Structure 1
Amino acid sequence: MPLIILKTKRMNKKELIQEVAIRSGMSQADVERVLNHITDTVRDSLHNEESVTLVGFGSFRVQERASRAGYNPSAGQKMQIPAKKIVKFRPGKALEI
């Protein structure tokens, strides 16, 4: 399998699709469809507040962030930041560097 050395320190979606296509022998169009289905499924599960675990890679879960006091520097006044739900990612052991 050839190794592609990227010019940037970040891999974008297009570069990920190219790399998976090379490694798997699939077409880039097929890889893109699969990747889109995976991300859609993960997003839908998180919207339903279900955690998603990919053994060896990591897990995604929804966490409630409490409301808190903040400061608006442009207005120069204190403000209340409302509570919201956020996505947390915890890397698996195989992903740790």
Structure 2
Amino acid sequence: MMSSIFYGEIKEDKLKTWSENRNPYDILVENNRVERLGGWDFLFIAKDLFTDEVQVDWGSFAYKCTCKQLQKLVSEMKCEIPKIQELDPDKAYGIVFIEES
């Protein structure tokens, strides 16, 4: 499976209409790539680790998350999240899984 996983701050208007999001590329303020994490591995842990799952198109899912949840993802999956030290614990973050054809 070819996939991409992005994280970032959730756009304010998307946060208000979370369950209505349908464009996986238009949820986050900036699409920052999560490195060294495969799609199946991510999907396996995502439902246990993150909250408010929404299916945004046929093969893409978005989850609300906190800074601590992203840190736990890095710790458990040994993936890389650039700039993780710069995240603000008071902001709303999201993580978006996009299955690509």
Q: TM-score, normalised by structure 1?
A: 0.29
Larger Rg: 1
Larger RCO, structures 1/2 (Cα 8 Å, 6+ apart): 2
Q: TM-score, normalised by structure 2?
A: 0.28
